Structure 1
Amino acid sequence: MKPTILILLLCQFICLLQPVQAAKKIKVACVGNSITYGTGIANRDTDSYPAQLQTLLGPQYTVGNFGKPGATLLVHGHRPYIQQEEYQKALHFSADIVIIHLGVNDTDPRNWPNYRDEFVHDYLQLIESFKKVNPQCRILLAYITPIADRHPRFISGTQQWHEEIQEAISVVAQVSQAEVIDFHTPLYPYPILLPDAIHPNEEGAHLLAQTAYSAITGDYGGLHLPMLYTDYMVLQRDTPLRIHGVADASTPVTVRINGQEKTTFTKSNGKWEVLLDPIKAGENYELSVQTPQQSRTFHHVAAGEVWLCSGQSNMQFMLQQAKDAAFEISQAHNPHIRFFHMKGRWETNATAWPAQAIDSINHLFYYQPTIWTECTPNTAATFSAIAYYFGKVLQDSLKVPIGLICNAVGGSTTESWVDRHSLEKHFPAILKDWTQNDFIQEWARKRALLNLQKSTSPFKRHPYEPCYLYEAGILPLQQYPLKGVIWYQGESNAHNMEAHYKLFRLLVNGWRQNWNQLDMPFYFVQLSSLNRPSWPWFRDSQRRLMNEIPHTGMVVSTDKGDSLNVHPTDKRPIGERLARWALNKTYHYTLLPSGPLYRQAVLKGHEVMVEFDYAEGLHTSDEKSLTGFELAEYDGIYFPAQAVIEGDKIRVYSDSIKHPRYIRYGWQPFTHANLVNKDQLPASSFRDKIR
């Protein structure tokens, strides 16, 4: 053997004997305040978010926790982070990746009111200091975690200042070109994970760790699509369609349907979306979503009209419970109508829920998993009767596929369907101690406490809780394209029409903002006739809401009420009347959308002339004299009045009232008022001052 070859072999042998040099670990510095530190977590060394992040990332990373309780980003704040020992340790760590979560303590009134103008500058300086130590380091700026409404300073400025700081962090990211991660959104629907209103518990810290892990690695668990994407789904026709989901960062995603093919790449936060060109009405489309690693294909997809059907028990009321159910169900063969039926895992009946139910409720797992199904007698029987009748009329009139999404919950309150941000900003009082809060109907609070009787936690979540059904039943829809909403709810808010007056506006505006459709049609049912004394006032407040909120319509249902039953069984007329509003206002059909709706009352001598919209063919429903009109000179002292139809107006007078100043109609909880128009549609209750 030649000496040269022998030397080479010997060198290779010596190299094999030497230990392999370990690969350099990637260092991650978690910079922040007490939330990073792990305050409130019993075993912070293992359960703080940096510790859990270390577990997720594995041995190839070294994660350092440099959190300082009470620290502010502001240099002139009450405890500036850059003056703390933890800051010096973080610099010395010379991290490859720096996650900064600062700003929560800057909401303190000692800080933000005085020094807000310095926040962006101070944050940029902090970033620059880490860049000087390691010019190649990645900087991840975290939007600050939520502060729950239970915090004592919440309504005195904290809520508003919190939002301003989030906006400032966005500015810092733009200027510095740093990456942004969202520590706010994962925790926001889960206030019970913030036991003291600020610090996440172990489970909350895990959500932060998972968020940081995905941001660092780009691993978002592969391709995920909203739950509404199933076979037999109905897509909204004739409008650009936003198809979106989540996949691993920087992954190409291709969407195909009906000859269209659109490709995009996921962003660093794992989100992706494509905007499809409008699709004409039709059936048996095939929608495919594909990444290099995964593919999802949905068959029998239709394009047509999609409506969300929501509210409480009268919308949830099943076809099999309705009047003439046997006949109606036998006729329910229509593959052009499709249902997405979101059923609750547990009914809100008068019973104590088991512990597993309470745990699921706390984690927003209220609804059962479901899929799109065609309308058959079997599927229609347990679907909303009102939604079914509504869809049946639309399908018969429009001759296109109709998709109906129903997520109604019996007994649910208006506030449970309103988004948290709207309540925090415009009605924070209703969030405070909701099981003892008089804004919330006593019946609803007592029923919720009965359902939660076995709960051992001081934080109780329930479908009747403010925000709950928005977070459990609206957010998961993920802005699935809709044509509009039909709504039947109010029974659980009729005790306080003033609160409902504010809440209903927040609900409609919040849903429209969620779907980015500020003119989205919203058609609702006025409460029916029932022997409950507050209902005339509540019905009139609903009428006024319709006049004040654009693109809404109200169905009058007093003629189909039951004096003793909050769930009248004759649902067909109600669904059909909702369809009238949609056909007239949304689809521009020439038909009356409603019964006579009060416009004004004008004094003519000692008599009053009442004017209405939709007053064509005024007459009485029972061919008897008009009933239900009352006049008063002094508000609160009303007398029955005579009323005579004169063309499209009503002349009202009373021998007991010489100087009428106030008028009302149908002002009984269970009313026999009988004014209708040519299509037999009833007039609404009303009360007003005479002009």
Structure 2
Amino acid sequence: MVVPENKSFKISGRAISNTIVSAKVLDRVFITNTNDDGLWTIKISALPEKTVADIELKNLDETLTLKDIKTGKVILLTGQSNIEFKFRDDAEYQEQIDHLNLQNVYFYNVPQLEYQDNEITLPKGLTTSKWEIADKDTLWEMSDIGYWIAKELSKLDPDEVVGIIDCYKGGTSISSWVPEEVLQSSQELIDRYVEPFKEATTGKTQIDYDREFADYNASVEKHNTDLAKFQKENPEVSLSDAKDKVGHTPWPPPMTPTSYLRPNGLFHTMIEQVSNYSFNKVVWYQGENDADNPDVYAIMLRGLVSSWRKLFADQSLPFYIVQLPGYYDEPQDAWAIIRQHQLEITQTLNDVHLVSIADTGEKHNIHPTHKRIAGTRIGKILSDKSYNSTPYVYRKQIVGNQLILFVASVSALVQRGKAEMEVRKAGKWSTQEVSAVGNVIVISNAQDIEKIRYAYANYPKCTLFNEFGAPLAPFEMEIE
């Protein structure tokens, strides 16, 4: 078990109701009382980095000792399928396993509880999890992004203990990860998420749900048959291009009252599972499944950060928002709009940082199998040994007929090919070459510019980077 270094943390459990529970750590004793249901939580003062200690828990005549508790950098990884994507499916998996050199790395996979009430728990047979040492025998079930993060952190500081807590679920909208108070905060969110769920689950019988799922499964089967036929007839065509021709797997499945895709569902079944834990940092990698509602993503993301900080009782908890990679097959500019919202929240909320991976991704494959660049970049930023974000434009200034853009998290911008931006004048868009000097970007003939865009597309072309190879975040900006 890994607890956050230099930060207080909590231990919770269940014992005999209305009794005293104590925790002894390094000759210090912390005490609390259980409630009427026997639940208890003890807050333990911060332990320094590189500490290894036992925690002795006592309740009446019973003693339980948690052995070899380590302090380290504890990171919560959360979001949907691309952060859930397992290391075993990475294109470099076997090569990495054959030459593994990873020390002091541990991980915990939060059980993917989908639904629970007094009568049922879904999925059935869900097993409990435990902390694992990241080694050849266990890494196959670790997050791929998590592996590359841990590898980079271990390389930068081999003696530091890293604890990765994986809490994710593929195919999910951000609406599944926030509490009711967020979705009820505006009529627009109620109309987009709450009301459609009610309409989809009201007045239906199990027979109705069975019929809907039968139709859905038939459409998936037809898609798979069509895809297999196309690939057989066109063996030279890649899977990505084949999907571009045939279409992608139908998603989402029909909504039910117990679906893990329901609004607020995973906030209660997964995030609340770790509400008594403490973290040094949170990585949020999500947005793919919100391409149909990109315009409200900013409200949702702000609500997520604020509500999670409230749940964890940690208003300064650092969040690292992963700006989406490139992927073509979405409604026009949907991912570009989401990237813009991901950028904007890092400029308006304290201790929220951007990690752009917009220069990665595959045009027609939403789940790239190469995640080294993305994970390594996130790890470098989490290490606190470099910039705390990837580059972004933080200020603009008009000087004569030039528009000057000032860029953070860079010493000297590096161009890869021709650096261009879109500019709008008199309501019309055109492409214009720009120049980079040090940490500024210069746009000439800037008179009458109304708005500018950089790499503003679902599948963008990034041409400006910092000295570590991290891309300038795609953006759209009004020019007054």
Q: Which TM-score tier does this pair reach, normalised by the shorter chain?
A: 0.7 to 0.9
Question: Is structure 2 residue 131 aligned with structure 1 residue 372?
Answer: yes
Compared CA separation, residues 488 and 368, structure 1 to 2 (3 A): farther
**Residues 362 and 462 of structure 1 are in contact (CA less than 8 Å); yes or no, is this contact kept in structure 2?**
no
Within the candidate set 504, 509, 532, 2:306 is matched to 509
**Residues 415 and 436 of structure 2 are in contact (CA less than 8 Å); yes or no, is this contact kept in structure 1?**
no
Query: After the TM superposition, which of the residue ranges 422-431 and 672-681 deviates more from structure 2?
Result: 422-431
**Residues 361 and 461 of structure 1 are in contact (CA less than 8 Å); yes or no, is this contact kept in structure 2?**
no
| Cα displacement string for residues 576-601 of structure 1 (whole angstroms, at most 9, x for unaligned residues) | 222333333xxxx3x23344301234
Question: Is structure 2 residue 449 aligned with structure 1 residue 632?
Answer: no
CA drift at 1:256 = 2.4
CA drift at 1:464 = 1.3
CA drift at 1:287 = 2.3
1:371 is aligned with what amino acid? K
Question: Is structure 2 residue 194 aligned with structure 1 residue 405?
Answer: no
What is the alpha-carbon distance in structure 2 between the residues aligned to residue 248 and residue 550 of structure 1? 41
Within the candidate set 544, 548, 553, 2:348 is matched to 548
2:311 is aligned with what amino acid? N
CA drift at 1:612 = 1.4
CA drift at 1:416 = 0.5
Compared CA separation, residues 648 and 278, structure 1 to 2 (3 A): closer
Identity among equivalent positions (%) equals: 21
Compared CA separation, residues 620 and 594, structure 1 to 2 (3 A): farther
Alignment of 1:249-398 (within 5 A): 249-282=17-50, 285-332=53-100, 334-342=102-110, 344=112, 363=121, 368-398=127-157
Question: Is structure 2 residue 226 aligned with structure 1 residue 431?
Answer: no
2:351 is aligned with what amino acid? H
Partner of 1:170: none
What is the alpha-carbon distance in structure 2 between the residues aligned to residue 360 and residue 686 of structure 1? 47
- Structure with higher Rg: it is 1
Partner of 1:579: 379
CA drift at 1:630 = 1.3
**Residues 262 and 276 of structure 1 are in contact (CA less than 8 Å); yes or no, is this contact kept in structure 2?**
yes
CA drift at 1:360 = 10
**Residues 486 and 522 of structure 1 are in contact (CA less than 8 Å); yes or no, is this contact kept in structure 2?**
yes
**Residues 365 and 472 of structure 1 are in contact (CA less than 8 Å); yes or no, is this contact kept in structure 2?**
no
**Residues 113 and 122 of structure 2 are in contact (CA less than 8 Å); yes or no, is this contact kept in structure 1?**
no
What is the Cα-based RMSD across aligned positions, in Å? 3.0
CA drift at 1:520 = 0.2
CA drift at 1:235 = 1.6
Question: Is structure 2 residue 394 aligned with structure 1 residue 599?
Answer: yes
**Residues 553 and 581 of structure 1 are in contact (CA less than 8 Å); yes or no, is this contact kept in structure 2?**
no
Compared CA separation, residues 521 and 452, structure 1 to 2 (3 A): farther
| Cα displacement string for residues 63-89 of structure 1 (whole angstroms, at most 9, x for unaligned residues) | xxxxxxxxxxxxxxxxxxxxxxxxxxx
What is the alpha-carbon distance in structure 1 between the residues aligned to residue 139 and residue 422 of structure 2? 43
Residue segments in structure 2 that go unaligned for 5+ positions in a row: 201-208, 218-253
Partner of 2:288: 491
What is the alpha-carbon distance in structure 2 between the residues aligned to residue 492 and residue 248 of structure 1? 44
Compared CA separation, residues 291 and 679, structure 1 to 2 (3 A): same
Alignment of 1:60-79 (within 5 A): none
Question: Is structure 2 residue 263 aligned with structure 1 residue 463?
Answer: no
Give me the TM-score of the superposition, normalised by structure 2.
0.80
| Cα displacement string for residues 377-410 of structure 1 (whole angstroms, at most 9, x for unaligned residues) | 2211221111122223334434321111102111
| Bigger proportion of residues as helix | 1
**Residues 632 and 662 of structure 1 are in contact (CA less than 8 Å); yes or no, is this contact kept in structure 2?**
yes
| Cα displacement string for residues 303-353 of structure 1 (whole angstroms, at most 9, x for unaligned residues) | 22211111001100111222322222334454511110135479xxxxxxx
Query: What SS does the aligned partner of 2:350 have?
Result: coil
State the structure with bigger RCO (CA 8 A, min sep 6), 1 or 2: 2
What is the alpha-carbon distance in structure 1 between the residues aligned to residue 304 and residue 53 of structure 2? 34
| Bigger proportion of residues as strand | 2
Query: What SS does the aligned partner of 2:104 have?
Result: strand
Partner of 2:467: 678
What is the alpha-carbon distance in structure 2 between the residues aligned to residue 434 and residue 466 of structure 1? 7
Give me the TM-score of the superposition, normalised by structure 1.
0.57
What is the alpha-carbon distance in structure 2 between the residues aligned to residue 484 and residue 451 of structure 1? 42
Partner of 2:479: 690
2:395 is aligned with what amino acid? Q
CA drift at 1:364 = 5.6
Query: What SS does the aligned partner of 2:456 have?
Result: coil
Question: Is structure 2 residue 331 aligned with structure 1 residue 538?
Answer: no
What is the alpha-carbon distance in structure 1 between the residues aligned to residue 442 and residue 7 of structure 2? 47
Query: What SS does the aligned partner of 2:473 have?
Result: coil
Residue segments in structure 1 that go unaligned for 5+ positions in a row: 1-232, 347-356, 438-445
CA drift at 1:518 = 0.4
What is the alpha-carbon distance in structure 1 between the residues aligned to residue 364 and residue 100 of structure 2? 30
Query: What SS does the aligned partner of 2:106 have?
Result: strand
